[in-house]
Amino acid sequence: MATYSRDRLTSVVLVDAVRTPFGKAGSLYAGTRADDLMVRAMRGLLERNPQLPLDQIDDVAIAAATQTGDQGMNLGRSASLLAGLPNTVPGYSVDRWCAGAMTSVTTLAASIAMGANEIAIAGGVEHMGNHPIGDGLDPNPRFLAERIVEQDALAMGATAERLHDRFPHLTKERSDAFALASQMKTAKAYQEGKIQRDLIPTAARSADLGWGIATVDEPPRPTTTLEGLATLKTPFRPAGRVTAGNSSGLNDGATAAILASEEKAIALGLPVKARLVTFAFAGVEPEVMGYGPVPATIKALANAGLSIEDIGAFEVNEAFAIQVLAFLDHFGIADDDPRVNPYGGAIAVGHPLASSGIRLMLNLARTFEEKPDVRYGLTTMCIGLGMGGSVIWENPHFGKKA
């Protein structure tokens, strides 16, 4: 009788990743369906990698935090069909709120690592104009009636205020300074053409102007100043510290990535932009959900046998400035450490919920190209209702001449 055995896991790589330009919720993409944003990202990704035989794609996982309407009907399958993938390519949907695309990647990567698949497409989309945050949700009344969570746990801005409460030395002034730096780094990256190279031009329809092509992100505010940030209202608490200026916005956009076994990628002549080391998800009190990246990163580092000192590049999702500061503070990393979000982050370019995990990965892959002296990088993000997710990557260019 034949027996099955596997001595080691298969090496999983990020082949490529792209995204649509991000829009302000209900603005740039007011006349565009969410699934069409996802399809455009997928098509753009495949156009960049024509050597990938479509019939060799084993699976597709697409995430959305609100899975109704134009984000429903199993996006993994429906977007695949709309994007022109063969009928033989299956697909499924993922929901881990903000970490949807990150979970699409880790779930598919796990299937490749164990040998069940060789090539897969991960993605995420959120049209917060069509699906405002919390729209259609029906939280179980026991959450509040039985004090399973506090009211603040259901409002992400309120959880950010609670982080300020927990860490009073992480002041509003520090959050504003971090937010300004994000805007400035994004503006510099745009000036140097570093962000545009991974944006897929996307059709956008305006009732006033008709059809156009989006080629850049809509949300960045390069004229931001500390003085201006200091005057903004604190909508989540009177005399609070969290504002629209030191938080990510409400946004529309999509991301997509190709994952493969390293052996298959090399055989097909596909690029290898990052090598997956390990990943981890962890839970925290829902009332301070922004602290989730800390235990998730501790867990991922332990899985990999690494320490925080081994990480030479960080992509931390900027849901709120205080959330990033809490992460940096725990690990003894300076607020302005140049290893962190060198192209800016979600405070500037936006955070279309379930899409953002792959944006972090494509940015990290670009850092790897620029910095062959960096061996390991981290992508991490907080997740609503008290979670965090972290993925550790290895630089395939490590040790090569720049």
Amino acid letter, residue 226: L
Question: Which region, left, alpha or beta, applies to residue 322 given φ > 0 means left and ψ of -120 to 50 means alpha?
Answer: alpha
In a domain, 76, yes or no: yes
Q: Does any domain span residue 381?
A: yes
Residue 205 lies in a domain: no
Q: What is the three-class DSSP state of 84?
A: coil
The verdict on 291 and 360 lying in the same domain is yes
Boundary residue ending a domain (259, 275, 291): 275
- Residues 259 and 331 placed together within one structural domain of the fold: no
Rounded distance between C-alpha atoms, residue 363 and residue 343, angstroms: 7
| Domain presence at residue 183 | yes
* DSSP-assigned states of every residue in 41-58: HHHHHHHH-TTS-GGG--
Quick one: which H or E segment has residue 259? Answer: strand 251-261
What residues are annotated to the active site?
A: 98, 351, 382
Q: Are residues 120 and 163 in the same domain?
A: no
CATH number at residue 290: 3.40.47.10
Looking up tokens 């009928």 gives 87
In-domain check, residue 215: no
Query: With b meaning 16 or more CB within 10 Å and e meaning fewer, what string describes 217-249?
Result: bbbbbeebeeeebeeeebebbeebbbbbbbbbb
Quick check: is 190 in a domain? yes
The SS3 of residue 370 is helix
| One domain, residues 60 and 186 | no
Q: Does residue 292 share a domain with residue 372? A: yes
Q: Are residues 315 and 180 in the same domain?
A: yes
Domain shared by 269 and 302, yes or no: no
Q: What is the pTM of this model?
A: 0.97
Same domain, yes or no: 157 and 167: yes
Provide the residue range defining the domain that includes 191. Answer: 152-195+277-393
What element of type H or E holds 124?
Answer: strand 119-127
Same domain, 35 and 156: no
Count of the separate structural domains present in the chain: 2
> Is 300 in the same domain as 267?
no
Terminus-to-terminus CA distance in the chain, angstroms?
Answer: 52
Is residue 295 located within the same domain as residue 261? no
* Separation between Cα atoms, residue 218 and residue 216, nearest integer Å: 6
What is the rounded distance in angstroms from the CA atom of residue 391 to the CA atom of residue 235? 32
In a domain, 321, yes or no: yes
Whether residues 28 and 53 share a domain: the answer is: yes
Domain closes at, from 240, 260, 275: 275
Q: Which phi and psi (to 5°) does residue 108 adopt? A: -65, -40
CB 289 within 8 A of CB 322: no
- Residue 112's identity, in one-letter code, is I
224, part of any domain:
no
Per-residue pLDDT 10s for the chain (402 aa) are 655 555 678 999 999 999 999 999 999 999 999 999 999 999 999 999 999 999 999 999 999 999 999 999 999 999 999 999 999 999 999 999 999 999 999 999 999 999 999 999 999 999 999 999 888 889 999 999 999 999 999 999 999 999 999 999 999 999 999 999 999 999 999 999 999 999 999 999 877 778 899 999 999 999 999 999 999 999 999 999 999 999 999 999 999 999 999 999 999 999 999 999 999 999 999 999 999 999 999 999 999 999 999 999 999 999 999 999 999 999 999 999 999 999 999 999 999 999 999 999 999 999 999 999 999 999 999 999 999 999 999 999 999 876
Q: Residue 94 — φ and ψ, nearest 5°?
A: -130, 140
